[in-house]
Amino acid sequence: MKRKTTFWDVLVIGLLLLGGLSMLVPFFWMISTSLKEPGSLFDLPIQLWPKKLHWENYQQVLTIVPFGRWYLNSLIIATGLTFLNLTSGAMAGYAFARFRWRGRDVMFLLSLITLMIPAHVLIIPLFVIMSRLGWIDTYYALILPGLFDAFAIFLMRQHFIQMPKELEEAALIDGAGPWQIYWKIALPLAAPALATLGTFTFLAGWNSFLWPLVATNSIEMRPLTVGLAVFNTNFSTEWTLLMAGLSLATIPPILVFLLAQRWFIRGLTLGSLKG
């Protein structure tokens, strides 16, 4: 069905573009500020883009703040969480989907109930427990809570239930044990679900803030989010440095997003199921 482009269409597209560009303004302002001369920000008239680019702001920010280490920490935490979450979530999901065992339904109900408990309820007791274990300011405190995730279990269970059983039954007849069947047959077949869930979990881990804020206290153990927040408090008036740091923190993830947009979008839409 072909129809004429109307005035209405042009208006809508124009507004969309305007909105889209206004999404870019803060990023533009960030980069522009990060290249301005320190101390010149309040000179009138305000420059939209500096005449001379001061790249040394970036050099300077790298000498005061361990950005590399923060990136590494975020990467370790997000990867660790994703790995734990997928491993334990898929295993439990498989057990709920394929096995019949005493207490299964009660356990499943219990894990569904935890979906209703918001994360903030856990912050204080987890902090207390982690302190007692001496795990505050270690990766243990940041990663191990990912061992149980009702959302992952629920999702993987759904996926395994929908998967045809025949292949697994054939392997059973050939004498394979459940463990073998799980690793060699069921799990590879669940790869797409794992990838989407993995993207979602990784993003959530990368962006997590409140728990890492509570669970770390040394500069070296902070992930990027917490590092930035504390950097923001300590250098709250050095805007050229702050914006240079912020550019270093936001531009690489945006580039990764542009390259792997399809996976991001799947992972993000999956997030809509959570809650």
Partner 1 sequence: MNAFRRFPWLFILPSLVGFLAFNAGPILLSLWISFTHWDVFQPLSLENLIGNWAGLDNYRRMLEDPVLKKAFFNTLYYVVVAVPLEIVIALAVALGLNRNFPGVRIVRTLYLLPTVTSVVAVGLLWRWVLNPYVGPVNLFLRWLGSKIEALFQFLHLPVPATVHWLATQGPGWLQDAAWAMPGIIIASVWAGLGFRMLIFLAGLQNIDPTYYEAAELDGANNWQKFWHVTLPLLSPTVFLNTLLALIGGFQVFGLIYVMTGGGPLDATNVLLFYLYQKAFGEFPPDMGYASAIAWLLFVILFGLTVIQWQLRKRWVLEEA
Mention every residue, 6+ apart, whose C-beta is less than 8 A from residue 128.
Answer: none
CA atoms within 13 A on the CB side of 145: 22
Q: Is 165 helix (H, G, I), strand (E, B) or coil?
A: coil
81 near partner 1, rule: CB under 8 A: no
**Number of shown-chain residues binding partner 1 (CB under 8 A):** 101
Distance CA(239)–CA(241), nearest Å, equals 5
Compare residues 59 and 114 and give the one whose CB is closer to partner 1: 114
Choose one: 49-57, 61-69, 143-151, 193-201; the region binding partner 1 (CB under 8 A). 143-151
Alpha carbon distances (Å) from 61 to 18, 241, 262? 33, 6, 33
What residue type is assigned to position 206 of the chain? W
Sign, CA torsion 104/110/112/114: negative
Q: Least separation, in Å, of the C-beta of 77 and partner 1?
A: 13
Pair of tokens at residue 217: 């206290």
Q: Least separation, in Å, of the C-beta of 56 and partner 1?
A: 20
106 near partner 1, rule: CB under 8 A: no
123, 185, 189, 195: which one contacts partner 1 (CB under 8 A)? 123
In terms of DSSP H, where are the helices of 134-260?
139-143, 150-162, 166-173, 178-181, 187-189, 191-207, 210-215, 224-234, 239-259
109 near partner 1, rule: CB under 8 A: no
Q: Least separation, in Å, of the C-beta of 227 and partner 1?
A: 9
Do the beta carbons of residue 225 and residue 245 sit within 8 Å? no
Q: Least separation, in Å, of the C-beta of 108 and partner 1?
A: 11
107, 185, 189, 195: which one contacts partner 1 (CB under 8 A)? 107
Choose one: 49-57, 58-66, 188-196, 251-259; the region binding partner 1 (CB under 8 A). 251-259
52 near partner 1, rule: CB under 8 A: no
Q: Which of residues 172-191 bind partner 1 (CB under 8 A)?
A: 172, 177-179, 182
What residue type is assigned to position 93 of the chain? G
Choose one: 50-58, 63-71, 80-88, 187-195; the region binding partner 1 (CB under 8 A). 80-88
Torsion-angle region of 175 (φ positive above 0: left; ψ -120 to 50: alpha; else: beta): left
What residue type is assigned to position 199 of the chain? T
49, 209, 220, 259: which one contacts partner 1 (CB under 8 A)? 209
Compare residues 16 and 64 and give the one whose CB is closer to partner 1: 16
64, 104, 183, 259: which one contacts partner 1 (CB under 8 A)? 104
234 near partner 1, rule: CB under 8 A: no
Choose one: 51-59, 65-73, 92-100, 192-200; the region binding partner 1 (CB under 8 A). 92-100
